[in-house]
Structure 1
Amino acid sequence: MTESGGPPVVPAVPAVLTAPFTRRAWQETAYCALSFVPSLVGVTLIAVIVVALGCALTLTVLGAVPGLLFLVAGLALARTLAALQRRLARGLLDEHIAEPPRPEAGRGLVDGVKARLGDVAGWRAIAYLLARLPVAVLGLWAVTWWVIGAFHVLAPLRWAAGQRDFSLISPIPGLGLDPRSLGSAFAAAALGCVFLLAAPWLTRAFVAVDRRLMRALLAPGAVADRVRELEETRALAVDDAAERLRRLERDLHDGAQVSLAALAMSLDMVREQLDDRDRPELHRLVETARDNAADTLTELRDLSRGLHPPALDAGLPDALATLAARTALPVDVTADVPDRPTPAIESLAYYCASELLANVIKHSGAARCDVDLSTGDGTLRLTVTDDGHGGAHITAGGGLAGLVQRVRTVDGELTVHSPDRGPTTVKVRLPLHA
């Protein structure tokens, strides 16, 4: 049966009668039962750790540091319980709630504590646990409808077996029965059927409320989703640009450079066959064309090397070692890169190292330079240190400012420490993946 222009209308009576036997009803009941204990324990621990210990201790002078640590522990616990809640919802309700990004770890204890205290997702998880507790209690109450209903349905059998000295309880106060007669036992069974028919709809109602709470408080949120989408789009754009540069470098190397080299060789052959006494002007013309071809070939090689250095194909450490060997200054390269970055990040790091070494040679007056490369915590760290006279700083329109802009395109960071009389240390931090 359908309404004109609308979707099919499901008959209400069959839906009510078949609800207790559906997979959805059993899954929602299991969700209400299984999620109650973590919710109760979580709220209790959050109340003790965050409110009683964390907030209370931070109000005192001596307890400020322990209080902050309790707050951090409470936020971490709330995140863990929220993750458990998302897994239960995904497994039993087919509700897929994306996990919000974790706060970036600071480079020290103070920065780490500040980052975790500013974890919005952790505070939202605490709000969810507190708001969900009454919903969890009501959900458990809905589960008792199943248990009490099944117990009531068996009343005639228990009465026939001679077990007539018990009273049947009810999830609703005032509806308890005393099945000392066969009629009251059947009445209890009928009431049990009513409870069983109502139980799926009660659990569904409380699960619906819980779904709304999860979507509102446990999901990353529209802004976080947009940020993640932009980050993914940027990563694709950066990787695509790096791949295009590598392809252009290969095309220049295998195409234009080979053609120019062949042209230069052909002009050499023509020049050798000319007689200076007969056609001196033609000899000079060929000589000039050959020199122009050679110069163009050199410029083209430099250009293609700047697009994508072939040394990067063997990895960033080897590329930096090659760069250091070509530098007109003693350069000591130390590399510890167990996790290889993406090609785009390697190209950016190589470009930064090349520009920084060029700055050392031009401006620092240094006698030597050290380059340190390492990975850890999902980041690539490049440090360039020289023993020059110092005084380097970032100015608008300068080379360092240009590097800062390039690094920021992938959420990287460049810092300069250059006191007068040196030494100068430039640190570049990049993500392993753009």
Structure 2
Amino acid sequence: MTTRSDRPAPAPPSPTVPPADRVGFGATMWKEVVHLLVNLPLSLLAFVYVTVAVAVGVALSVTVVGLPLLAAGLAGARLVGRAERARARALLDVRVEEPSRPPYRPGGGALGVVWTALGDPVAWRTVLYGFVRLPWGVLTFTVTLVALGVLWPALPYLVRWMANADRAMVRGLLGPSDELERRVAELESDRGVVVDVAAADLRRIERDLHDGAQARLVALAMGLGLAKEKAAEDPDAAARMVEEAHSEVKLALRELRDLARGIHPAVLTDRGLDAALSSVASRCTVPVTVTVDLPERPAEATEGIAYFTVSELLQNVSKHARARHATGNVWRTGDRLLIQVTDDGHDGADPAHGTGLAGLAERLDAVDGLFVVDSPPGGPTTVTAELPWRSRTAVRR
């Protein structure tokens, strides 16, 4: 089974002219008929709304309330566009991505919000859509109604022609402005993933500190306090308690080192991926061969993501794979940093079951990465990850 978690490509648009064998008295045609018949009432409502919103806003623009009213009308136009996209999805099978929110234009509080709405190209294109839809709605309603009564043999072809014109209109006027806008929407989604992952990591660190080192240090302080009280009356007991406290200090320091290694290991900072991953491999319960072939050290953020990706994959091998051997390879190809971890275990890996691989996929997706799991029944399992290459020297400049 192969699972890809890279950002899915947008669904291909419906063809402008569907195949000839789809033209006929089928379910598709009747959905198109319904769409064309409701064009008139919905177009009339949209026309009235955008006309009133724009006319009132422009007429009152010389007053204090004019521009805010126009901005509110444009915000409402976005809702009209959303409803029309939903109707097109349901009746015309047109998949149009939802446009991203307009970028905030600095202006100070409410004024900034108003200027953002006034400069929203998606809202203005929806206004244009509302204006041109009324005559088109009258035409499609009339032709469809006449064809249903007297032009029955030509009905599928007339309906298909008008429905294709509607499809083109929806894509052209109600879709995202351009590739940059779609990219903004993707980055907004990725930012949410990054924030959630960071919050989960902070909660894990807080829990580890509270349940581990902090609890141990509290017990250590209490033990030293008791030893201090017994020092004068029972030196032998106090010595034993100090010895126990010394052991507790060692354990606390070990836990803190492990926690720090989980945040960002010192060996990664000082010596890079090769040494850091060799250290991870030495702690794995399965023999691991690690190979790092990089012309230079990548940017710190990229290096950290690569380290934790390999670390978590090797932990999964130790816990779940029942493997006898594993390999880890890191290399650069063009502008991509590639990671591949393979094990000869027989237990399949499925990102859909469990949170470990799914979490890795989300983290890589948030930085424009790629995550592929190839785990057929009976093994072996190969996990490949890609990251955008960023040079450490370029980042420092």
Please report the TM-score for the alignment, with normalisation by the length of structure 2.
0.45
